Structure formats: structure tokens, C-alpha cells
Chain A
Amino acid sequence: MCSSSPPSLARCTWRELTINLHAYLVLGAIVFTIGLFGVLTRRNAVGILLAIELMLNAVNINLVSFARFRADLAGIVFALFTIAITVAEVAVGLAIVIVIFRVRKTVEADHLDLLRG
């Protein structure tokens, strides 16, 4: 990593102490995987939505860390769009959950098998 900028050895040792991009990406991967686990194992539709929030959140960590480390503003703007779209998705998703509850009297994913043949 230090060979990329040979001029200053002092900044190189300074960088060794800082967090590099990998740390943020690993954090994002771990949070994404935890969210995936929640989506796969939760029985309640609201719980599944919460786990999806975790996965989207992990994606935001990746977007912002790439924006910071590549000094590119597009990542931050994209994270802004992701956050807004996520909020819209949650509003509609929870409304759908409430409608499902009104119709089926349950929000358990296992019981929502109307389309099963």
C-alpha cells in the first residue's frame, strides 16, 4: 500500500495507523450477512423487514466508505438515494404487512401460503 506513493515515507507510517478501506468493507460484509441470516430465519414479516433494513444499512456503509477512500462524491449521493428509497420501501412494506394482517389475521411468513398449489 505504501509503494503507491513513494514520495513521503512519513505519510506512509501515518497511514499504517489509520483504518483502511478493508476494515469498513469487512464491517459491511458482516452486517450484511447478519441481515441475511435474519431474513432467512425470522418467522415474522416485520422481523424480516427489520433484517432487510440491516442489509441495506450494510450497503450504505460500503457506499460511503468507497466514496471516502476514492474521494468520489457519487458514493455519498448514492447512499442518500438509497436511504430515501429504503424509507419509502419500509413505509409501503409495513402498510402491506398491516393489510396482510387484516386479511389473514397473521403476519407469520409460514402462514402466508395462499399461492401454494
Chain B
Amino acid sequence: MTGEAVAFGVVAVVIVAASLAVVLTPNLFHAVIYLAVALVATGIVFLLLESPFLFGVQLLLYAGGVVTLAVFAIMLTERLVGERIAQTNRYIANGAIVCAAVLAAVLGFLAGGPGVPAPAATGDVTPAIGRALAGAFALPFELLGVLLLAALLGALHLARADD
């Protein structure tokens, strides 16, 4: 149980550090790499929360798909313009003030809530996820398929050459 606490602490530090690097590093390529680190570490948080299926989905879709797409977009927009894309941040002080206010508000809200003890581990929930997707959540699941198809066609249409 303390092992879980130690693992959570390490992963939390990795996530926060990588997230800060994503928004602060001047090089966008490095930002994408740090985003991959943060996403994989988030997958490990899902493992700590006993959702190995979500860990797999996170690796495949987020760390695999999103990062690859972002690298492609950066290469396309950077290669064509012939110069490094703008890399500095702006309004850092204003952004920091807004974010500190949001964080303080959320943490204050959390501090007022009751602590929730962890229920006993239920084992692998993957079969239950499958049953829920085919049962109670069947309609949203089908709609998700339609959305993915629409996004696929839309992205193809938007990104194709004009000829």
C-alpha cells in the first residue's frame, strides 16, 4: 500500500514536470516529446487506478496517435515556411495569475470535500467495460464510430491539396 503511495508520488512528479515542460519549452518538438512523457505517465496513473485497459488505450491513441499527428503537423508547418516557427510565450505574467487563481479556487473547493476511502480492489474491470459498451452505452459507442468516420473524412478533406 505504501508502494502504491510511492509509485503515485513518483508518477505525479513526472506528470507535473513534463506538463510544465510542454507549456514552457521553447522548442515545439521538445514540447511534443514531453507531452508523450506526460501521457505515458498518465497511463501509469490509470494502472494505479486498476484500469489496465485504459492504460492500453492511452498508449495506443494518445501517446501513439496524437503525438505522431502533432509531429507531422509541426514538420509540415515548419518545413514549408523555411524558418523556425515562433517559440516564445507571451503574457506569461497574466497567464500565471489567471492559472494561479483557477488552481486556488479548485483546491479550495477540494479542501472542503470529504475524503473518500478507496473501496476494495475489484480486480480486472475490462470484461465489465466490454459489457457496458455493448449494453448500456451501446448507442454512444455507435455514435462514437460515426464521429470518428466524420473526423477522418473531414481531416482528409481539409488537408488535401487543392487541385
Nearest A residue to B57, CB-CB? A83
Contact assessment for A43 and B1 in the assembled complex, using a CB-CB cutoff below 8 Å:
no
Q: Which residues of chain A are near B35, meaning CB under 8 Å? A: 50, 53-54
Contact assessment for B92 and A33 in the assembled complex, using a CB-CB cutoff below 8 Å:
no
Q: Which residues of chain B are near A22, meaning CB under 8 Å? A: 110, 113, 115-116
Q: How many residues of A contact B (CB 8 A)?
A: 78
Contact assessment for B22 and A38 in the assembled complex, using a CB-CB cutoff below 8 Å:
yes
Tell me which of A33, A51, A64, A92 contacts B103 (CB under 8 A).
A33
The residue in A32, A92, A99 that gathers the most chain B C-beta atoms within 10 A of its C-beta is: A92
CB-CB contacts below 8 Å: A79-117 with B? 79-81, 83-92, 94-99, 101, 105-108, 110
Instruction: Give the distance to chain B from A73, nearest Cβ to Cβ, in Å.
Output: 5
Count class of interface residues, chain B: 35 or more
Given contacts A65-B49, A83-B57, contact A95 B159 (CB under 8 A): yes
Proximity bits, A6-34, B CB within 8 Å = 1, else 0: 00000000110111111111110111111
Contact assessment for A54 and B98 in the assembled complex, using a CB-CB cutoff below 8 Å:
no
**B4 within 8 Å of A by Cβ?**
yes
Proximity bits, B118-158, A CB within 8 Å = 1, else 0: 11001001001100110001001000100110111011101
**B85 within 8 Å of A by Cβ?**
yes
Nearest A residue to B114, CB-CB? A1
- CA–CA, A86 and B65, complex, Å: 11
Chain A residues at the B interface, C-beta cutoff of 8 Å: 1-2, 4-5, 14-15, 17-27, 29-38, 40-44, 46-47, 49-51, 53-54, 57, 60-61, 64-65, 67-71, 73-74, 76-77, 79-81, 83-92, 94-99, 101, 105-108, 110
Given contacts A40-B91, A74-B132, A83-B58, 11 further A-B contacts (CB under 8 A): A36-B99, A37-B99, A40-B95, A43-B88, A44-B28, A46-B73, A73-B125, A77-B132, A83-B61, A87-B65, A95-B154
